[in-house]
Amino acid sequence: MNGQDVQFSPRDGFLVTHAGYFNDAQQNYLIYLYQPILGPVAVGLYNTLKTLENPSALRSQRPMHRILLDYMSVDLVAIEAARRRLEAMGLLRTFTNEDVIGKYFVYELYPPLTPDVFFKDDLLSLLLVQTIGQRAFDDLATRFQLHPVTKDLTEITANFSNVFPEIVARAVQTPTELQQTKKQMTLKQRPAVAYSEADLDTFDWDFLQNLLAKFQVTKAELTKHQQVIYQLHHFYGIDETTMANLIANTLDIVTDEINIKKLESLTLAEYTQTQGSQVKMAPEPETPTPPQTSASQSDAPTAQADSTQELVAQAQRLSVFDFLAWQKQVLGGFVGKGETRVLRELQSRHIFSDQILNMLTYANLHTAGATTVTQAFTDSVANDWLQHHITTPEAALKRIQERQYTKLGKTAKTNNNSRQNYRTTSPTKTVEPIPSWFKEQTSATSEADDS
């Protein structure tokens, strides 16, 4: 994302409303379940908007977006990216209009899902486990697990009709006023967390269903897990045939239903083997091999240019996982599960295109002393590129060369020599001035000693 993608200016006004009821427990849901996926800036924007909500505010007295920049100490691009993440996760809907004062936005907040609904959503659960890992995911599930009363007890709870019989008798015919209140209290349907229809149409679902027909997998079953299947396809670059083989190995032998957690685990295992997966390299045009000649200094710029062109071309052609696997093969390593988790979590935020994610991988692996893609490096460099509007592989490569990142994504310092000289050089002795009265007193003492 760059500055051209920002849809508002600091002078544009905004209003905040909500389409659901909020309570104290939802803040825990937001921190534990949503923040690992959204990031702290998006959660900060959500809480700031909730704080700034004023139901009695007039449109003519609406605040400007400048107040969000002041409260959060971030720029317009960061606010825009955070807003889109909230929208993608179903926590926010944004509307816009224009009047005589100028352009303004209305932000409609939705409360976080309760844990039982969140963990039953395949896509949200997948995003969370990719971000924090299986062990932390299981710990969160245990944390939010309810412990209802066991069945070996006898219930003696009173029911409503026994306690309020007169109310039950009068409730046979609901008054008109109550009917009107019911309509007013109807909650607006929250936005779904899902890939768009345009994204899903890029995958051949009919072909996948035909491949799975012999396993009795219905179209309804594929539609049920469509979002997760597409997410795996998008990240790993899995085609329909390979996806059919993976699904066939994760079917329940009794019900012929897809075990989505097993599919996720199997895919992760298949694509993070020690020997690495087979990388589907884009076909290169065949060129005749030139005759070998003696090496010269003039060949160096040409070789460097060819290497740069190949890097940019592969970043544009390969999926995020295939680029990672290619780089690991070049460097003689293997793809780790933690590396795929870092990249899939960032991809799910829709901040960068896949080719920029590939350049982030390159920056990770070609930093001095680094051997793996790490969360700390990726977050630091991603923020740097977001603030400097890096949108092409060429711009990313130039930024890498300019910044010379360290293992934590910081800029390498250039004063190492002076620091080393300071350590090895003997400290300079400071000569303090001697007052005249001390000299006279010392002289008098010496004369007395001589006598």
pLDDT in tens, 104-152: 999 999 999 999 999 988 888 888 888 888 889 999 999 998 888 777 7
Do 130 and 345 touch, CB atoms closer than 8 A?
Answer: yes
Residue 107 and residue 53 share a domain: yes
The amino acid sitting at 135 is R
**How much is the pLDDT for 181?**
67
Residue 331 and residue 265 share a domain: no
Beta-sheet strand order (sheet of 13-18): 13-18, 103-109, 92-98
Which pLDDT tens digit goes with each residue over 312-337? 888 888 888 888 888 888 888 888 77
Two structure tokens written together for 220: 């309804």
Residue 9 and residue 107 share a domain: yes
Residue 250 and residue 353 share a domain: no
State the CB neighbour count (10 A cutoff) for residue 101.
12
**How much is the pLDDT for 409?**
55
Whole-number Å distance between alpha carbons of 65 and 366: 39
Q: Region 178-195: what's the mean pLDDT?
A: 64
Domain assignment of residue 303, yes or no: no
> In the Cβ-directed half-sphere of 144, how many Cα atoms lie within 13 Å?
21
Which pLDDT tens digit goes with each residue over 229-243? 888 888 888 888 888
**How much is the pLDDT for 146?**
84
Classify the C-alpha dihedral 78-81-85-86 as positive or negative.
positive
Residue 105 and residue 15 share a domain: yes
Do 342 and 301 touch, CB atoms closer than 8 A?
Answer: no
SS3 of the chain: CCHHHCCCCCCCEEEEEECCCCCCHHHHHHHHHHHHHHCHHHHHHHHHHHHHCCCCCCHHHCCECHHHHHHHCCCHHHHHHHHHHHHHCCCEEEEEEECCCCEEEEEEECCCCCHHHHHHCHHHHHHHHHHHCHHHHHHHHHHCCCCCCCCCCCCCCCCHHHHCHHHHHHCCCCCHHHHHHHHHCCCCCCCCCCCCHHHHCCCCHHHHHHHCHHHCCCHHHHHHCHHHHHHHHHHHCCCHHHHHHHHHCCECCCCCCECHHHHHHHHHHHCCCCCCCCCCCCCCCCCCCCCCCCCCCCHHHHHHHHHHHHHHHHHHHCCHHHHHHHHHHHHCCCCCHHHHHHHHHHHHCCCCCHHHHHHHHHHHHCCCCCCCCCHHHHHHHHHHHHHCCCCCHHHHHHHHHHHCECCCCCECCCCHHHHHHHHHCCCCCCCCCCCHHHHHHHHHHHHHHHC
Q: What is the CA radius of gyration of the chain?
A: 32
Domain around 336: 313-403
**Above pLDDT 90, what percent of the chain?**
15
The amino acid sitting at 242 is T
Residue 16 and residue 109 share a domain: yes
**How much is the pLDDT for 14?**
93
Domain assignment of residue 189, yes or no: no
Domain assignment of residue 147, yes or no: no
Residue 399 and residue 321 share a domain: yes
Domain assignment of residue 94, yes or no: yes
Q: Region 100-105: what's the mean pLDDT?
A: 90
**How much is the pLDDT for 214?**
85
Which pLDDT tens digit goes with each residue over 256-284? 788 888 888 788 777 765 334 443 433 43
Which pLDDT tens digit goes with each residue over 372-393? 888 888 888 888 887 788 888 8
Bridge partner residues of 251 (DSSP): 258
Look at the chain and report how many structural domains it folds into.
3
- CATH number, domain of 109, equals 1.10.10
Q: Give the contacts of 25 (CB within 8 A, at least 6 positions apart).
A: none
Residue 445 has pLDDT above 60, yes or no: no
Q: Which of the four pLDDT bands, split at 50, 70 and 90, describes residue 30?
A: very high
**How much is the pLDDT for 269?**
75
Residue 99 and residue 14 share a domain: yes
Residue 335 and residue 255 share a domain: no
Whole-number Å distance between alpha carbons of 221 and 224: 5
Domain assignment of residue 280, yes or no: no
Show which of 403, 418, 436 is a domain's final residue: 403
**How much is the pLDDT for 296?**
46
Q: Region 193-209: what's the mean pLDDT?
A: 83
Whole-number Å distance between alpha carbons of 110 and 176: 30
Whole-number Å distance between alpha carbons of 174 and 39: 47
Residue 321 and residue 258 share a domain: no
Residue 203 has pLDDT above 50, yes or no: yes
Residue 87 and residue 7 share a domain: yes
- CA dihedral angle for residue 79, residue 83, residue 84, residue 89, rounded to 10 degrees: 140
- In 3D space, the residue among 339, 245, 246, 237 whose CA is nearest the CA of residue 282 turns out to be 237
**How much is the pLDDT for 20?**
82
Residue 189 has pLDDT above 90, yes or no: no
**How much is the pLDDT for 364?**
87
Do 409 and 384 touch, CB atoms closer than 8 A?
Answer: yes
Show which of 212, 247, 270 is a domain's final residue: 270
Q: Region 15-44: what's the mean pLDDT?
A: 90
Domain assignment of residue 413, yes or no: no
Domain assignment of residue 30, yes or no: yes
pTM above 0.75, yes or no: no
Show which of 114, 136, 166 is a domain's final residue: 114
Q: Which of the four pLDDT bands, split at 50, 70 and 90, describes residue 402?
A: confident
Which pLDDT tens digit goes with each residue over 279-322? 343 343 343 344 444 444 445 555 566 678 888 888 888 888 88
Burial class (CB in 10 A: 0-12, 13-18, 19+), 273: exposed
**How much is the pLDDT for 153?**
83
Which pLDDT tens digit goes with each residue over 405-443? 775 555 555 444 434 443 344 444 444 455 555 555 555
Which pLDDT tens digit goes with each residue over 39-97? 899 999 999 999 998 877 778 888 999 999 999 988 888 888 899 999 988 999 999 99
Domain assignment of residue 202, yes or no: yes
Residue 339 has pLDDT above 90, yes or no: no
Residue 32 has pLDDT above 90, yes or no: yes
Residue 201 and residue 106 share a domain: no
Quote the mean pLDDT of the chain.
77
